[in-house]
Amino acid sequence: MSEDQKRTASNDHDRVAISQEQQAKITEVRGLIGQLSDKESVYCSDASISRYLRSRNWNVKKASQMLKQSLKWRKEYKPEEIGWEEVANEAESGSMYRPNYNDKYGRPVIVMRPSRKNSKSTQGLIKYLVYCMENAIFNLPPHQEQMTWLVDFEGKMSDMSFKLARETVHVLQNYYPKRMGLVILYNAPILFQPFFKMLRPFVETEIYNKIKFRYSDGHREKEIMEDLFDMDKLESAFGGNGGTGFDINKYAERMKEDDNKILSFWTQVKPVS
């Protein structure tokens, strides 16, 4: 593996302060997960292993088991190889996208609009979710490892899929630990409350505590959003001045450019001999 790959460390861009004791646990995890391919070694940076350890309260055995499952999934699913053309059909309606700005903490933003999903294919929608996650991670600024989700409950919510919601939670919790910085559920309708109550047992407490309900007519809502976002960039749907925020043609161009960068990065990694 080249020095550039080691330095990039799975393109995390994040550099977390790690104590001597924590470094020892990271080393212990490395011993438990065994020999890795070059690509897996790039993914398993110290920062990455640290996220798995933190998600399991620094329990080495549990973190190792979680990481092994994640590596197995990545080997089979190949999330880093998903290209725009594979998900363009799901993306064209604007059901999910990464706007071209971060929040004030430097976290990339992912906007989700459940009512706009373009199909009822759980498999297709999850693939697009994974594509968005990989893209957002690749675009993380220095010293940042998390992202912010803005979920806009515009339109009708009558076709909400519990299966899709549960699978989304499963993927985010198990394969992208410590990536969720904040989840804002914006203008969630009353009928969403029982749906969310059913979903609650599947959501880990840490992520649950990061989920915040916000309403356009709520007390201090604008002030809260101003504390988090540059209002001139934030979409009007969330009380900002940034217009509609989604143009499929411009978005496709951005994603294709990112695809080329991501492909270039991962093709530097030598395949398993």
Q: What is the per-residue pLDDT across 135-167, written as a single tens digit (0 to 9) for each? A: 999 999 988 999 999 999 887 666 678 899 999
Q: What is the CA radius of gyration of the chain?
A: 19
Element (H, E) at 111: strand 109-112
**For residues 43 and 172, is the Cβ–Cβ distance under 8 A?**
no
The tokens describing 17, both together, are: 């302060």
> What pLDDT digit, counting tens, does each position of 15-62 carry?
556 788 889 999 999 999 999 988 899 999 999 999 999 999 999 999
Q: Nearest-CA neighbor of 140 among 27, 19, 48, 267?
A: 48
Q: What is the pLDDT of residue 10?
A: 44
CATH assignment, 3-77: 1.10.8
Question: Per-residue pLDDT averaged across 231-247, rounded?
Answer: 86
pTM for the model stands at 0.89
Q: Is 85 exposed, middle or buried (0-12, 13-18, 19+ CB in 10 A)?
A: exposed
> In whole angstroms, what is the distance from residue 120 CA to residue 84 CA?
19
Q: What pLDDT score does 223 carry?
A: 85
Please give the pLDDT value at position 82: 96
CA distance 197 to 202: 10
**Helix/strand/coil percent split, the chain, to 5:** 55, 10, 40
Report the side by side order of strands in the sheet with 180-186.
96-97, 109-112, 147-152, 180-186, 211-214
Q: How many angstroms separate the Cα of 19 from the Cα of each of 11, 26, 50, 56?
A: 22, 10, 11, 17
**Bridge partner residues of 151 (DSSP):** 112, 185
Residue type, 131: Y
Q: What is the pLDDT of residues 165-219, one digit of tens each?
A: 999 999 999 999 999 999 999 998 888 888 899 999 999 999 999 999 988 887 7
Place of tokens 């450019």: 257
Mention the CATH class of domain 81-261.
Answer: alpha beta
Output the CA–CA distances (angstroms, integers) from residue 200 to 48, 162, 164, 211, in the order listed: 26, 11, 14, 11
Q: Where are the domains of the chain?
A: 3-77, 81-261
Residue with tokens 């971060």: 102
Does 1 have pLDDT greater than 50? no
pLDDT computed for residue 46 by the predictor: 93
- Give the span between the Cα atoms of 136 and 79, in whole angstroms: 13
Q: pLDDT-based confidence at 124, cuts 50/70/90?
A: very high
